[in-house]
Structure 1
Amino acid sequence: MTVTETSRPTAQRGSDFAALSRRIAQAGLLDRRPGYYAVRIGLVAALFAGTWAVFAAVGDSWWQIPVAVLLAVAFAQVTLLAHDLAHGQISRSRRVARIAGLLVGNLAVGLSYGWWMDKHTRHHANPNHEDHDPDVSPDILIWSRRQAEASRGLPRLIGRWQAFLFFPLLTLEGVNLKVSSFRALRRPSLKNRWVEGLLLGTHVLAYAGAVFLVLPLPKALLFLVVHQVCYGVYLGCTFAPNHKGMPVLTADDELDFLRKQVLTSRNVSGGRLVTIALGGLNYQIEHHLFPSMPTANLRRARPIVREYCASLGVEYAECGLLESWGLALRHLHEVGRPLRGVRT
């Protein structure tokens, strides 16, 4: 999918985002929501601690498998909180946000806060851009025809049938995040990498130690597999609907900020349950336009943004959760078309 000519900005459109930003600010939607986050943090902390308490209480039993699934949900919700911390939605203080992010990300779920924040910041600056967004780099999957034609090795092999392999590959995402977190410790550019490494190591020792202390080897290994598989699929199903299947930008697409964010993002409808499950990321368009806006305000910003985009003739994409996954899979299958029937 590409950006159409009618979507390209003209010289008069430089202030489009500024006008929208004024409306949002006047509505008070950029104000902090300490009460909302106090409740949300409390509930997520209770879910996280409560699941570990259930794990300890159940002990050596095959009933630990459902507990592993519940723990995956708890890990995902903690990760979504780390996302909000990274965007400054919870605290204006960068120091407070970073300390909390290290505790929530590195220590609680084993995800490098510094590595992920750097990666996610680059994504927000250039969403769905072939050359600048790390989320659409052709590491394993390919996201455009151009990437397909230039692919080599594993991406070229997988790219042929990647739509069918997408969900199976998500089962590895939890492990991939941990591996990437530890690999990032080798980068001199990573701030406080010794602290990050210490907290990541503490997480792994405490996590594995608890599982192997309570469960015998076969059950422990199965618990770890189920937990990491469900955690990876949960996160993948949370982030994939937001941009996959939307236009992939290249150096030829010179879009202003508003169009760059709106045209590459997709909202997911579905009500309060979807909002809770996706951590508010179902309002992806509003989140990309205003990354520091508290999650609780995104729903209220939606009608303002949608009406404003309509007045400019800018397409505002929104659909249900299942449809969003379908669009992502169809896009993956389409961009892999040049590779099917081609020998490596």
Structure 2
Amino acid sequence: MDSLQTVRPPPGPSEPGSDFARLSKKVQAAGLMARRPGYYALRCSLVLALYAAGWTALVLVGDSWWTLLVAAFLAAVFGQVALLAHDIAHRQVFRLRRASELSGRIAGNLGIGMGYGWWQDKHTRHHANPNHEDLDPDLDPDVLVWTQDQARASKGLPRFLGRSQAFLFFPLLTLEGFNLHVSGVRSLADGALKNRVGEGLLLLAHFSAYLGALFLVLPPGKAIAFLFVNQCLFGLYLGSIFAPNHKGMPVLRGTDRPDFLRRQVLTSRDVRGGRFTDIVLGGLNYQIEHHLFPSMPSPHLRRAQAIVRGHCRELGVSYLETSLIGSYRQTLASLHEAGAPIRKARTA
């Protein structure tokens, strides 16, 4: 299907769940919900090996500015760890909840210093109501504004940045790694967070090992440079993975909640690409399929795409697939449009 199709509203009322139920039967019949233990064993082993190789390289290179290349390498590895934690949280890897939570905390908290419990709660709410202005935490106007209504009501930092937020978007992504750390630590004060002590100890272990390794191997100046290069590129990588998924797609408001299939399809977009794209984006380039079937193992998403796209064609539901550059272009255009009221107010 053409990548630049206009997203149309739902074609009309349908029996709740029936359209998705028929799609689910097709996907189940194709065996795409079956677990892939061999795939994930290999993937986890490779990521762990790359993680160990990165820290070994830091020690071997030692007191040299060449360690900044190691910092960049580890930023990419941290992104792959985050993608593994994402799959684990969606129960793609382990059937049992306990195994998922334990391995997710090890990957998230200990591996990259991300508060797994905080992120899982936020991400679950996002999946339930993607791109809903009132219900999706990813649309909170805490730094940027995502709609013109948010722009009109904005104050403080969002209003200050909103005028030029499209130009600032990618530079701001360099702070996303730091934001994950801060948010994870702050979540420990939330009494509703499960296993706060365990999460806190794992975060402490990560930060102690990370900073300890840097300042033991490198002099202070190089250690700080390594930290900033590593964390800024890590944040940029993560943000560049997640930005193409929903930004620039239709935003729902109030009681505007189509049925499950349309709610997920019309607010998401897929990104074209080959196997390399699948690896770099961790399968999230099949965002529509992932949102429809969150527990589907990521290596099955490519095959599921043809089934989902065909089903949407039968229903008359628009299915959007674009290039990676095209998705960024749409994201930036929507950010620029959202900030229009702030620009008009300043020129009035």
TM-score range, shorter chain: over 0.9
- Picking from 116, 126, 130, the partner of 1:123 is 126
Aligned to 1:258: 261
Q: Distance in 2 between matches of 1:10 and 1:109?
A: 45
Q: Distance in 1 between matches of 2:207 and 2:12?
A: 49
Q: Is the 8 A contact 2:113 2:181 kept in 1?
A: yes
4+ aligned runs moved over 4 Å, structure 1: none
Q: Which amino acid aligns with 1:320?
A: S
CA deviation string 1:208-248 (max 9, x = no partner)? 00000000011111000000010000000000000000011
- Picking from 300, 304, 313, the partner of 1:301 is 304
Normalising by structure 1, we get a TM-score of 0.97
Q: Is the 8 A contact 1:130 1:248 kept in 2?
A: yes
Q: Distance in 2 between matches of 1:49 and 1:232?
A: 20
- Picking from 211, 229, 232, the partner of 1:229 is 232
CA deviation string 1:50-85 (max 9, x = no partner)? 111111111111110110000000100001000000
For structure 1, which segment, 29-38 or 152-161, has the greater mean C-alpha deviation from structure 2 after superposition? 152-161
Normalising by structure 2, we get a TM-score of 0.96
Q: CA deviation at 1:196?
A: 0.4
- Alignment of 1:170 with 2:182, yes or no, is no
Q: Is the 8 A contact 2:264 2:288 kept in 1?
A: yes
Structure 1 residue runs of 5 or longer lacking an equivalent are none
- Picking from 276, 280, 283, the partner of 2:279 is 276
- Picking from 6, 27, 33, the partner of 1:30 is 33
Q: Is the 8 A contact 2:7 2:266 kept in 1?
A: no
CA deviation string 1:126-169 (max 9, x = no partner)? 00001110001111111111111111111111111100000110
- Alignment of 1:314 with 2:307, yes or no, is no
Structure 2 residue runs of 5 or longer lacking an equivalent are 1-5
- Alignment of 1:18 with 2:21, yes or no, is yes
- Alignment of 1:245 with 2:217, yes or no, is no
Q: Distance in 2 between matches of 1:276 and 1:20?
A: 26
Q: Distance in 1 between matches of 2:257 and 2:223?
A: 52
- Alignment of 1:98 with 2:101, yes or no, is yes
Q: CA deviation at 1:12?
A: 3.7
Aligned to 1:288: 291
Q: Is the 8 A contact 1:8 1:254 kept in 2?
A: no
Q: Distance in 2 between matches of 1:268 and 1:216?
A: 42
Q: Is the 8 A contact 1:141 1:159 kept in 2?
A: yes
Aligned to 1:71: 74
Q: Distance in 2 between matches of 1:36 and 1:262?
A: 27
Instruction: State percent identity of aligned pairs.
Output: 60
Root-mean-square deviation (CA, aligned residues, Å) is 1.3
Matched residues, number: 342
